[in-house]
Structure 1
């Protein structure tokens, strides 16, 4: 009996345990810490397998675009001042269809904005966010890997690989596309394989990017170039290139000159001449989503709830809207003295997210399928669509609102 009591005392009680500390999980933890600092009674734990660094899968050498709407939300959470100096502006976006006449531009000045978004390097962002976490109210369990999830009537019992155990009234799974929480709880995931592989790298060009981003649709899929901060006086662009798996493997290991020549041929010279490339990485592209991203006292957000094709750069931005809505629902529940993990609270969150998730997922699938083939009716339709955006600027507003992540 005494041994049983001793074991029970080793379980730490928390209100919310977040599993996964990459961009979405770390941002949510800091948002909850800010909520707790406003006087809301809230204990928060963040469980993350490894600290930021080059080997961290969520804070690696990639860059992501943070939409203007997401920057507004980050500013509201008090987090954008921490990240602002890491960002490179996207003032203009050029969209084109290789081998066809369709092209258009989105310009921040058209919408009376300073920028349509900002590009940040994930490795640098990770270090900043974790430094903030170490100085916050969040109980940071890192490095620590989740090894078990046991549902209980009033929460979940979480076991970590360092033998620590936590009992949480609410678990938030922000643990990526292969979510161990989702797998442990046996929750379904729908997946659509696009038959494409993303090749990512940093590119050096011979002329400044002047805050231009580029999206070029090719026969194999979209090719995106995002502006990055200069390095040692060299202009840099972040490349995401969707290719067939065999092409991606060949170009990933091709000699530098051969790779740059292939990229130049696929993209053209609108961004200048490509003169160098950094390390190349690749990953398969698919669309995955949970039809119902809630479970008993558990919410799934970010890539654990849905993973998008990078065609429109909406992955983190959709995940950020997940966590912002969750913060709103939890704040209201706390203000009313309600159980933050109760079914009613989670269903309120689900209702808030349903339309945005469905529309974003549907739009991304439409874009991938519509711009990754050469059937002439679709080619003619998309070329005309891009031309209409150029000829009739008012038509750009709904496109820009989606691109900027406005709710």
Structure 2
């Protein structure tokens, strides 16, 4: 709901008391020094104070408050009381109307009240015999308009400031939610792959513990290696979260630029992702375009997205495509796109999102779309297939910079 800066009762009470004090002493002084004016009495003082009193009712009943204030000051002047501060009380009511309630209604009521006020003042002046000057009436009307314009400007400035604060708070909430999602996605990619591999190797070790001690020892060694790699990747993720350059190369030059927002891996690290499947007897073939080797390697963030797509796809093969015997990973550059496909020969299989969590495929899609790419996942010619296209940013030349 549209609210004004004076919709709270405490500031209105303070302003009403301050305006009442000014009107009271100003009216008493004007009555004493203004020749020909009727001496102030309880009736006159009561009429002059109607404006400050009705300030407290503005948010709920602005129209009756303005009508009451204008009627009181018109009666006050028609009865011959002194000109001056009594008008200030009603102008104060109009100013307060502009600073309370919905902005559009406030403007209509305040400016309509100003027209009504000066119509009442002119009518009262016509009934008096003290020779009221037209210039004085015009000057008073002009000062009323100035006061209302200033109040309108104050309200608009405060509204812009409030909107800016609300937008900043919304951006901060969005940034926090995005950061939480990013951290959750990174940890899922690391832990899901590593724990899946550890689970497979532990099963192999238990199965062969009594029959083939050498193979069981090999499975335990694989568990140790996989857990060590997982710890290294978790440290890299946490290093980025803490603001440390956990994903940068050790020989990277120091600079004032902020560190990476995600750990980075290059395509040369892809073969290690196949170790858990190969331990189960699954053949994993990597068909990576030789042109993607340095110096033609993709940018770090593009390679990182491709790495995560392959990692999650291979993890899903191990968890869902239990009949798969061959997995083919293809990575190639197509003009300004990096294409990544992973398909297996496991036949019809449950989609990765059919598991209890459903975070794997969702996180993979969010990561690819966050880089401006597209991802398709579903039944393929032989089993389940994942296909991702990731934009390859065009370097900006010095002439274009």
TM-score bracket, normalised by the shorter chain, equals under 0.3
Q: Under a length normalisation based on structure 2, what TM-score does the superposition of the two structures give?
A: 0.18
Q: Under a length normalisation based on structure 1, what TM-score does the superposition of the two structures give?
A: 0.18
Structure with greater helix percent: 2
Structure with max Cα Rg: 2
- Give the number of the structure with larger relative contact order, counting CA–CA contacts within 8 Å between residues 6 or more apart: 1
